[in-house]
Amino acid sequence: MKFLIYALLLIALVIASGFLYTLLSGLKNQKWYNKPPAEGNYIDFKGLKLYYREKGKNGATVVVINAIGSSQAEWWKIQNDIGLRNRMITWDRTGYNRSCRKDLSGSSKEVHRDSLNQKDTAKATAEELNIILKFKKIRKPVILVANHTGILLALYYAKTFPENVAGMILVNPFPLRYSDFINDIKDIDECPDPLEIIDKNYSKATKGLFRMLSPYKGYRLDRRYLKHIIEHYSKVENYETMKLETSAINDIIDEINNADPFPKIPVRVLYPASEPLIRDFVRSGINEYSSRRLQRVYEQYSSDLINLTPETTSLEVAKAGEYIHISKPDIIVHEINNMIMNNKKKL
């Protein structure tokens, strides 16, 4: 009888501890949200409130469009290096963290993507970037650096506002024939749907698990900005925007295909190496056989970017997996500096 009582007490203690941990995690995240880090600043323009970070004031301007759902803080180490001689800007798109559209009805309420739907994702990103360039009085063309799904938003911007883009660096390419890619990986065992991944990560965020489990298995995040990255993935409201943007991928690709021809600008495509990418897939829970199949399909569909312009070149980054900007930041810095040096007249 005593054993049963002790067992029930232990179970109750575990449940209470879990509830308390979840509560404290939420309070900590809210505190972080209410007190913006001194790393960045706000642009408040016609109901649009954007949280951005800028390093450097002179030279060329480099702007990062990060992947769907990811944190701008992942780029801050690279940004610090580029900012020594040039200017580099990162920002949170509306719906992430402190960037939002304000309720213009007279209340002080802030709303995420209030007037937007799935088909507005690329258009909204282009609008935000133009506001940033106008606010910072940047009149010369910029270099766009985009990562994975962020590449789609960068392509749309370059085709819609070609006069604003001098060159692009595309990191960890995303398949442009997305529907075909998804169809080809459906029969690969243990290969989850992108929306399923977001739902799983949302569940982890609600429990505060990203404080114990890194959002990037096998990767060492910069300690200076680790807190910001963890809080980004712990903020449950971000996952609504992740689902919105992910659901909009086919719409964005349609917008890209219907836009003007891609401008004749230099493009550098940085690919992950095969074996490290396979290891990343295995870490995510896919068995090795399926991971190798997935890597081959990914390689097939991601090669389309090589044909963007006659000036497109590519590089397979040795020993780099899916998150090149985290594992090999020096390579990204080198590639950005090279593009600046080779396009000085435009910049």
Q: What pLDDT was estimated at residue 23?
A: 75
Q: What is the pLDDT of residues 304-340, one digit of tens each?
A: 999 898 999 999 999 999 999 999 999 999 999 999 9
C-alpha distances out from residue 293 to 113, 148, 186, 305, 324, Å: 37, 19, 11, 21, 21
Q: Provide Rg for the chain, Cα atoms.
A: 21
pLDDT classification of 251: cutoffs 50, 70, 90: very high
Higher per-residue confidence, 108 vs 298 = 298
Please report where in the chains the tokens 């169809």 appear, as a residue: 183
For residue 315, the tally of other CB atoms under 10 A from its CB is: 13
Which pLDDT score, from 0 to 100, does residue 180 have?
Answer: 94
pLDDT at 41: 93
Q: Name the percent of the chain lying above pLDDT 90.
A: 73
**Statement: residue 189 has pLDDT above 90:** no
Domain spans in the chain, listed from the N-terminal domain onward: 39-262+271-342
pLDDT in tens, 213-226: 889 999 999 999 99
Contact between 169 and 143 under an 8 Å Cβ cutoff? The reply is: yes
Q: What is the pLDDT of residue 116?
A: 45
Per-residue pLDDT at 104: 47
pLDDT, tens digit, for every residue of 80-110?
Answer: 999 999 999 999 999 999 998 765 444 444 5
Q: Which residues contact 233 (CB under 8 A, 6 or more apart)?
A: 71, 201, 205, 210, 215
User: To 10 degrees, the CA torsion angle through 127, 129, 130, 135?
Assistant: 120
CATH topology of domain 39-262+271-342: Rossmann fold (3.40.50)
Q: Which residue has the higher pLDDT, 343 or 331?
A: 331
Q: Are 263 and 159 in contact (CB under 8 A)?
A: yes
Q: Virtual CA dihedral for 296, 281, 122, 312, nearest 10 degrees?
A: -40
At 133 the pLDDT is 96
SS3 339: helix
103 vs 63, higher pLDDT:
63
Per-residue model confidence (pLDDT) at position 18? 65
Query: Which of these, 187, 85, 70, 64, lies nearest to 129 by C-alpha position?
Result: 64
Question: Residue 73 carries which DSSP code?
Answer: G
Amino acid 4: pLDDT: 67
Long-range contacts from 132-139, C-beta under 8 angstroms, 24+ separation: 132/43, 132/50, 132/52, 132/63, 132/89, 132/91, 133/63, 133/164, 135/43, 135/45, 136/54, 136/61, 136/89, 138/61, 138/87
Question: In this model, does residue 114 exceed pLDDT 70?
Answer: no
305 contacts 176 by C-beta, under 8 angstroms: yes
Least confident of 36-45, 246-255, 288-297: 36-45
Per-residue pLDDT for 6 more than 70?
Answer: no
Kindly indicate the confidence band of residue 187, based on its pLDDT and cuts at 50, 70 and 90: confident
Q: Mapped to the 3 state alphabet, what secondary structure does 291-317 carry?
A: HHHHHHHHHHHHHHHHHCCCCEEEEEE
pLDDT tops 80 at residue 128: yes
Whether 60 and 88 have beta carbons less than 8 Å apart is answered as: no
Identity of the residue numbered 1: M
Instruction: Supply the pLDDT for residue 19.
Output: 67
In 3D space, the residue among 161, 190, 157, 155 whose CA is nearest the CA of residue 173 turns out to be 155
Q: Count Cβ atoms below 10 Å from residue 212 Cβ, excluding itself.
A: 11
pLDDT of residue 115: 43
pTM of the model: 0.92
Taking CA atoms, 87 is separated from 133, 146, 168, in Å, by 12, 16, 15
**pLDDT cut 70: percent of the chain above it:** 89
| SS3 of residue 341 by DSSP | helix
Residue type, 305: L
pLDDT score, position 109: 46
268 Cβ contact list (under 8 Å, min separation 6): 167, 168, 169, 170, 312, 313, 314, 315, 335, 338, 339
Q: Where are the beta strands (DSSP E) in the chain?
A: 41-45, 48-55, 61-65, 87-91, 100-102, 110-111, 142-147, 165-171, 267-272, 312-317
Distances (CA, A) of 312 to 234, 301, 316, 339: 37, 16, 14, 12
